[in-house]
């Protein structure tokens, strides 16, 4: 009861702040709501609108910034859900600013010493004032006590941030639960799942060791890319609330004139931004999901350097294969093939018609063909996709939603560097390699070899299986063995399962051998 009252109180404050920014019942949408909602807006908003001249999405972003870090993170999640807030609001939420005044350097030093279990002078020769501050953490420039000393960036959590997040996330879960209980639309939008996604993201972000692990994993994955770089992690100076990485000397991708002054070509950097993201996501399956201008720099060698690994995305092999098939179908304008792939993956309920879904996909794909890349709006394209999602009862796939959201941000960064940037042409080499790896002859040969290896492993086990069967036959031929009826039934099911899979393996092995033989002949 007390927890519920606290949640209601926190939600009440949020309602008040949103109303003061005319972000809860925006005046632009009053014609679409009931009389009761209009009366509620009049009571809450009258005389209090602090951002009257701004667009609805901007007003919402301003309110979320004022409400604090949990609401900023909620806004970032909502920026991937145009089906909930609309495309225009999504665009505004992508610009959410997470900048707040820094906390005292003495507090940061205490956090570092407590987290690392050593005094500051044992670890750092110098420890400067904060150079950047956000609602979760701030960053200090420091020099290590190593010989020679190294220049590093030390990220330190804001005091009490874990408790603040916990309180707000409890309130979000409380609101989502009641919304789903009272509204069918809330259940369709899976608000509880949305809050769960936010909570999982925050849980990872509130342990800086996880961010360090993400940085090192991405560095390993992209080690062969000469134009991309990840700052090295100093694990000896990293803990749950402290992260130390090498200091990056570079020019922000957001400062085009500074890039030109440093001798860099913004057009080449735009291509590097897009291609490096595609290599991460499609080839490696692990990608930086927050590649906005504030997290991207160019070093003296012209390499793209990415920082801040709190938000990362993954695409498993099945999802990447699904994307390969979908992309191949769109490029061939074979919309029925794309529809079939969606049905086979279980993304569209079988109560719908493949033909109707293919028709909806055609409505999305056809307007793109024959137009210049500059005329194609990725935001509008995504809006159409989400409308199709709603029409055909598709559940959103978190992996793909995060990928799509990041792709929009990456495209925006590239076009800020080169207004005539052609994302399709820049993507072509990476996508071509990816397609060959996923669904081309190379993939067939790789899958065939995997099947052969499994088949060979099975044949190695056959002598032991036959020996066991011979022993059992000997016992049965003698005095017999008393076995419970349930055990006999389970044994029969298991043997049937093994035989069935052995038959499948033999057929797959034969097909793989045929493919390999044909490949050798050709």
Give the active site residues.
290
Question: If you search the block for the tokens 């507090």, which residue do you land on?
Answer: 107
Q: If DSSP codes are grouped into helix, strand and coil, which group holds residue 246?
A: strand
- The answer to whether the beta carbons of residues 4 and 174 sit under 8 Å apart is yes
Nearest CA to 264 among 418, 424, 419, 420?
A: 418
Between the alpha carbon of residue 202 and those of residues 72, 256, 312, 326, 407, the distances in Å are 11, 32, 12, 31, 22
User: What phi, psi does 155 have (nearest 5°)?
Assistant: -95, 125
Rounded to whole angstroms, the Cα distance separating 113 from 406 reads 36
Omega within 30 of 0 (cis) for the link into 317: no
Rounded to whole angstroms, the Cα distance separating 447 from 509 reads 10
Rounded to whole angstroms, the Cα distance separating 492 from 498 reads 10
Rounded to whole angstroms, the Cα distance separating 434 from 283 reads 6
Rounded to whole angstroms, the Cα distance separating 355 from 351 reads 12
Rounded to whole angstroms, the Cα distance separating 454 from 506 reads 10
Q: Which residues of 177-214 are buried (b: 16+ CB within 10 A; e: fewer)?
A: eeebeeeeebeebbbbebbebbbebbeebbbbebbbbb
User: What phi, psi does 242 have (nearest 5°)?
Assistant: -140, 135
- The answer to whether the beta carbons of residues 158 and 140 sit under 8 Å apart is no
251 token code pair: 């020019």
Rounded to whole angstroms, the Cα distance separating 49 from 2 reads 32
User: What phi, psi does 21 have (nearest 5°)?
Assistant: -100, 10
């Amino acid at each position: 009861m007390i927890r519920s009252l606290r949640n209601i109180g926190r939600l009440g404050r949020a309602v008040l702040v949103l109303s003061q920014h005319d972000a809860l019942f925006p005046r632009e949408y009053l014609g679409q709501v009931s009389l009761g909602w209009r009366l509620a807006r009049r009571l809450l908003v009258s005389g209090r609108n602090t951002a009257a001249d701004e667009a609805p999405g901007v007003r919402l972003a301003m309110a979320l910034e004022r409400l604090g870090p949990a609401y900023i993170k909620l806004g970032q999640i909502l920026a991937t859900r145009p089906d909930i807030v609309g495309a225009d609001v999504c665009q505004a939420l992508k610009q959410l600013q997470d900048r707040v005044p820094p906390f005292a350097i003495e507090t940061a030093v205490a956090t570092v010493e407590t987290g690392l279990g050593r005094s500051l002078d044992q670890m750092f020769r110098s420890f400067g004032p904060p150079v950047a501050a956000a609602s979760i953490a701030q960053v200090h420039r420091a020099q290590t006590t190593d010989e020679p000393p190294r220049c590093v960036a030390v990220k330190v959590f804001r005091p009490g941030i874990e408790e603040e997040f916990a309180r707000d996330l409890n309130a979000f879960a409380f609101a989502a639960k009641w919304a789903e209980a009272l509204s069918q639309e809330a259940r369709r939008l899976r608000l509880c799942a949305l809050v769960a996604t936010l909570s999982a993201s925050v849980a990872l972000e509130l342990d800086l060791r996880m961010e360090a692990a993400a940085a090192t994993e991405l560095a390993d994955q992209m080690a062969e890319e000469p134009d991309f770089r990840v700052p090295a992690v100093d694990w000896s100076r990293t803990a749950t609330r402290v992260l130390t990485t090498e200091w990056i000397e570079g020019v922000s991708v957001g400062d085009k004139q500074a890039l030109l002054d440093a001798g860099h070509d913004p057009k080449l950097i735009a291509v590097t931004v897009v291609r490096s993201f595609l290599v991460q996501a499609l080839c490696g399956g692990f990608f930086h999901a927050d590649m906005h201008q504030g997290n991207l720099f160019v070093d003296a060698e012209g390499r793209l350097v990415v920082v801040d690994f709190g938000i990362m995305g993954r695409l498993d092999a099945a999802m990447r294969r699904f994307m390969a098939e979908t992309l191949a179908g769109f490029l061939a304008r074979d919309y029925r093939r794309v529809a079939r792939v969606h049905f086979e993956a279980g993304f569209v309920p079988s109560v719908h018609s493949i033909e109707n879904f293919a028709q909806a996909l055609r409505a999305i794909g056809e307007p793109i063909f024959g137009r210049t890349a500059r005329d194609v709006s990725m935001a509008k394209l995504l809006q159409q996709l989400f409308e199709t999602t709603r029409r055909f009862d598709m559940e959103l796939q978190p992996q793909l939603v995060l990928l799509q959201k990041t792709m929009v941000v990456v495209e925006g960064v590239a076009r800020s560097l080169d207004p005539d940037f052609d994302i399709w042409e820049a993507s072509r080499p990476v996508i071509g390699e990816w397609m060959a790896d996923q669904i081309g002859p190379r993939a067939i040969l790789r899958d065939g070899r995997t099947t052969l290896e499994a088949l060979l492993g099975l044949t190695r086990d056959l002598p032991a299986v036959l020996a066991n069967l011979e022993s059992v036959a000997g016992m049965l031929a003698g005095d017999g063995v008393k076995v419970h009826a349930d055990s006999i039934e389970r044994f029969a099911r298991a043997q049937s399962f093994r035989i069935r899979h052995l038959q499948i393996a033999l057929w797959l092995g034969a097909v793989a051998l045929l493919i390999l033989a044909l490949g050798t002949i050709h």
